[in-house]
Amino acid sequence: MNILVTGGTGYIGSHTAVELLNEGYGVILLDNFSNSKPEVINRIKRITGKDFRSYNIDLLDKKRLGKVFEENQLDAVIHFAGFKAVGESVANPIKYYQNNVVGTLVLCETMSRYSVKKLVFSSSATVYGTDNNSPLTEDMTLSTNNPYGSSKMIIEMILRDLYYSDREWRVSILRYFNPIGAHESGLIGEDPNGEPNNLMPYITQVAVGTRNKLTIFGNDYPTHDGTGIRDYIHVVDLAKGHIKALERVLVEPCIDVFNLGTGIGYSVLDLIRHFEESTGIKIPFVLSGRRPGDVAVCYANPEKAAKTLNWKAEKDIHDMCRDSWRWQSKNPDGYKLV
């Protein structure tokens, strides 16, 4: 079985490529390196000892994308490629709709043309918006308050319409909670461009000395310590969830939506404490006001994925902290110096 992985050199795509290769799938990676480095390809090969084809192509390039389908006997696509910075999406919505929504349309059109109609798509818990109470279930009403979230919601709608128009499509929409951690080899991990937006890469950059201190956004939320609560999930568990979703789209006609989370919420202060316990490194922080658009609490009800996909996150918060730190300490500047 040959699987096209769009955005395959990104954070989640690279970890999923490793799991796919370990499971014996053929992998074809596609990325335009807008938010990742070609070195990731060497690292994936080193970890798995397996070879595979990779293409430096923009998803919006219809012609070159078509060639990938001509040159490879593809069975399914796992689609990660997209932009993901919420703040940037507010400042530049067209860039986000163009890349995420139009990119997905070009991909689906090409998949249709070559009769490859099995797709696993990266959505996000951000589509639950601010009005639903955790634990979040897949049937809740969706809403968003930024163009990034809206692009995910629109793509979910497009994929549903596609399935209802042509029942040959098999689609699995995965709503990720907060992926952190890294492959246990320390060879691949999250490598944000510039100042990290997300909490864990900020913590590891403070730990490694790239940044002086963490700023905590809000300590007046209605939570046990006033800081925001999230459902952190190890990226390798998340990657394994993709294999389960893929197995399902390969055999069953479906349009499914699954939460991929642990079902456990940790506050910002909890995460700092667990990181300090796991690594022995102190994380200095300052308290500041809330970040606009943030919800107080967000965690999954992961039962649907457990029942239907037979998938459950296995790694705990210490595994997540330890593996995030192993990656950062072995690669203080990410892939940049390579």
Residues acting as catalytic residues: 148
| Structural tokens at position 28 | 């074809």
Nearer to ligand NAD, 60 or 287 (CB): 60
Do 181 and 7 meet the contact criterion of CB atoms below 8 Å apart?
A: no
In this chain, which stretch among 54-62, 214-222, 298-306, 324-332 interacts with ligand NAD, using CB under 6 A?
Answer: 54-62
Q: How far apart are the first and last CA of the chain?
A: 32
Residue 216 binds: one of ligand UDP, ligand NAD, none (C-beta under 5 to 8 A by kind): ligand UDP
Residue 221 engages ligand NAD in binding (rule: CB under 6 A): no
Nearer to ligand UDP, 18 or 268 (CB): 268
Which of 104, 124, 204, 328 touches ligand NAD by CB under 6 A? Answer: 124
Q: How far is CA 212 from CA 8, 157, 203, 271, 321, in A?
A: 32, 43, 10, 18, 19
Nearer to ligand NAD, 122 or 267 (CB): 122
Contact set for ligand NAD, span 224-243 (CB under 6 A): none
In this chain, which stretch among 76-84, 260-268, 283-291, 296-304 interacts with ligand NAD, using CB under 6 A?
Answer: 76-84
Which of 135, 147, 179, 196 touches ligand NAD by CB under 6 A? Answer: 179
Residue 287 phi, psi (nearest 5): -95, 140
Q: Tell me the per-residue interface mask from 81 to 120 with ligand NAD, x by CB under 6 A, - otherwise.
A: xxxx--------------x---x-----------------
Do 232 and 271 meet the contact criterion of CB atoms below 8 Å apart?
A: yes
Question: Which residue's C-beta sits nearest to ligand UDP?
Answer: 228
Binding site for ligand UDP (CB under 6 A): 178, 197-199, 202, 214-217, 228, 230, 268, 291, 294
CA atoms within 13 A on the CB side of 93: 7
Displacement of CA 53 from its chain's centroid (Å): 22
Do 325 and 204 meet the contact criterion of CB atoms below 8 Å apart?
A: yes
| Structural tokens at position 103 | 């990119």
d(CA 264, CA 317): 10
Displacement of CA 222 from its chain's centroid (Å): 27
In this chain, which stretch among 31-39, 240-248, 263-271, 312-320 interacts with ligand NAD, using CB under 6 A?
Answer: 31-39
| Structural tokens at position 143 | 């809403």
Q: In the bound complex, what is the minimum distance in angstroms from residue 297's beta carbon to ligand UDP?
A: 9
Displacement of CA 209 from its chain's centroid (Å): 26
By CB under 6 A, name the binding residues for ligand NAD. 7, 9-13, 31-36, 58-60, 80-84, 99, 103, 122, 124, 176, 178-179
